[in-house]
Chain A
């Protein structure tokens, strides 16, 4: 069908599914005129693992490890979100201390996700070195989280009604050393990358998304905030201990690649603030609610929960018939919607811009495919 619309001067280029810059197995079908893009069609599904279906065949607890495999960069956030959703359905309340610990870990996870994005994005733009600096910072977070969660990437740390283990002294020391270190590094990144002329030329005014377009395509997270819409679920539908935290929602007005970059860099600073506050106010007490059964049986009905993942609005919806296994489970993952806008904003740009725009959107393919 597509082939019929080809004229003499245009040709198709399959960008991916095996390409160094498609962050896994994304497949973009581009119709090109020279290097200019006429049409773009994102094709997804290469790493579909039927997570939702697995959720319908497992008890609520058995599905917990799956959550961090969907978005491997924000695994803890997904853990957190899933536990909050199930707790809400079953009417379980996690103890105060556990809620603080979860928030600290989720924000650290958010920072590590943004750091990896920062490194990978600069690599997409042809600068190799920031990647290793970002990984150096991220390594600290993984070590800190590994200290209490026992894993580095695919966490199963949160439990229904708490967390699996309490914080230890190593964790506190690690976080206390890490916060000033990252603040210094962020300052370095500002001077070395944010003010770099080549970087500005590559990102300013590229891939502009207007607030209306962003709403039409249901963009969320940093991509939406870069268009000037200050929508953050941590503020709009607060959960956990976020209402008690002081932090700003960084927004930009341009909606271009540079603004998406800027918003994420600013978010890292805000996350550091949250971690600092939460660690300072950490109350004493248990980290797990006693008497939560192994097999949860939420009352019949349908439940929805919204969560601000590093990439945007994560929605968890499930229908329970009162049994141990959900009847239907649906995950609204942010990258899927964020990616869809490519077919709207790519036409008219160059191949090099495609990479810059695709990178700036921050997609995680397994999260799209689920």
Chain B
């Protein structure tokens, strides 16, 4: 009986492969897995953040729902879904509704090229890194849309800050990633991991690694760079007017973005899935979650920068240092080869 079902599945699978082609099928299944993974990961990260914050702040965080409160975020998610979607009257309706959906698109695309293991990647294209950064740029567009369409002064101020911040911090982010690309000679994510056989790039490129982490924190609007949603100044920044699952989508995107920037950092600087004893995907996830933990740690320790200080920091320090680092890398590579 069981073998019969398996046989049927095999037949169906063969038929599907013949009809769509193997690559397309892997892409579709991969995206389905990613969709589920994004939710589970975000739920886990929110729980982790609350636990980390709790222990940093002399509390214990969620503990009532499920063991160690692990189901707390699921319950919160259900609450968010059940809530009314309030659309204030003077909003620009189309942009207002579109913004939380658009914020999610780049997040999904980035997962296509993330190498979780030696063979566990949906598709390893030769410009993978560029794809991630290109789509990450869309993020800021949706924030601007949401902030502008809300017809709220706090939301608008938050959106303006967000655009300025993202533009400023994308440059050092790209420049530091470029130094790694120069060393590995490829834009393919798997290729970069392959190039780190033996020594991780963080040891060759400590400055670029640090710049990347700072830039990534700013890019994901996390404290101490969380000025677009600075709670004590702008109420909730660009998503002031959003409620229910629309707010939930922004929230989900934020945590998934955190995962992506940490995953890119792992791939670029920390040897990706490389590591002894355990299989590749385990190492990849361990490294990513350690990086995320560091980002959370920073968030719950430091106060927020002021907007102009943040911009000064990017334009006066980070970008020149990143450029110098890139030039030095190019020079050394030229001399060595």
Chain A residues in the interface with B (C-beta under 8 A) = 11, 13, 19-21, 35, 122-129, 132-133, 136, 192, 196, 198-199, 201-202, 350-355
Contacts and interface: CB of A to CB of B under 8 A. Distances in A.
23 contacts: A20-B231, A35-B157, A122-B303, A123-B232, A126-B224, A127-B303, A128-B53, A128-B57, A129-B56, A129-B57, A129-B301, A133-B57, A196-B302, A198-B224, A198-B303, A198-B304, A202-B304, A350-B306, A350-B307, A351-B234, A352-B227, A352-B233, A354-B233
A151 B303 CA distance: 33
B306 A202 contact: yes
Most buried by A among B300, B301, B304: B304
B57 to A, nearest CB: 4
A353 B305 CA distance: 11
Contacts of A129: 53, 56-57, 300-301
Contacts of A202: 303-306, 309
A21 B306 contact: no
Contact of B233 (A21, A127, A192): A21
B303 A350 contact: no
Contacts of B231: 20, 126
Interface in B195-234: 223-224, 226-227, 230-234
A13 B153 contact: yes
A105 B231 CA distance: 35
Interface residues of B, number: 27
Contact of A355 (B223, B233, B308): B233
A35 B304 contact: no
B59 A126 contact: no
B303 A351 contact: no
A125 B227 CA distance: 11
A201 B232 contact: no
Given A13-B153, A198-B304, A351-B157, A126 B223 contact: yes
Nearest to B57: A132
A353 B306 contact: yes
Contacts of A128: 53, 57, 300
A126 B157 contact: no
Nearest to B302: A198
B36 interface: no
A35 B58 CA distance: 36
Contacts of B59: 132
B235 interface: yes
Nearest to B300: A129
Interface in B18-63: 53, 56-59
Nearest to B231: A20
Contact of B226 (A13, A123, A126, A354): A126
B306 A201 contact: yes
A125 B306 CA distance: 9
B303 A126 contact: yes
Contacts of B305: 198, 201-202
A17 to B, nearest CB: 13
A20 B235 contact: yes
Nearest to A18: B235
A12 to B, nearest CB: 9
Interface in B111-158: 153, 157
Given A132-B59, A198-B302, A124 B307 contact: no
Contacts of B308: 350
B235 A19 contact: yes
B303 A196 contact: yes
Nearest to A193: B303
Given A202-B303, A352-B304, 18 more contacts: A20-B232, A21-B233, A122-B303, A126-B224, A126-B303, A128-B57, A129-B56, A129-B300, A133-B58, A136-B58, A198-B305, A201-B306, A201-B309, A351-B157, A351-B233, A352-B306, A355-B232, A355-B233
B59 to A, nearest CB: 7
A35 B158 CA distance: 11
A253 to B, nearest CB: 23
Contact of A11 (B53, B153, B227, B307): B153
Contacts of A21: 232-233
Contacts of A124: 232
A255 B233 CA distance: 23
A63 B40 CA distance: 58
Contact of A352 (B56, B224, B230, B300): B230
A204 to B, nearest CB: 12
Contacts of A133: 57-58
A318 B309 CA distance: 50
A173 to B, nearest CB: 22
Contact of B232 (A11, A35, A125, A192): A125
Most buried by A among B59, B303, B309: B303
Nearest to A128: B300
Contacts of B307: 35, 350, 352
A328 to B, nearest CB: 40
A20 B301 CA distance: 20
A33 to B, nearest CB: 12
A129 B231 CA distance: 14
A202 B307 CA distance: 10
Contacts of A355: 232-233
Contacts of A198: 224, 302-305
Contacts of A19: 235
Interface in B210-262: 223-224, 226-227, 230-235
A257 B57 CA distance: 25
A125 B153 CA distance: 20
A123 to B, nearest CB: 6
A126 B304 contact: yes
Contacts of A20: 231-232, 235
Given A133-B58, A198-B304, A126 B230 contact: yes
Nearest to A19: B235
A351 B158 CA distance: 12
A65 B15 CA distance: 83
B303 A199 contact: yes
Contacts of A350: 306-308
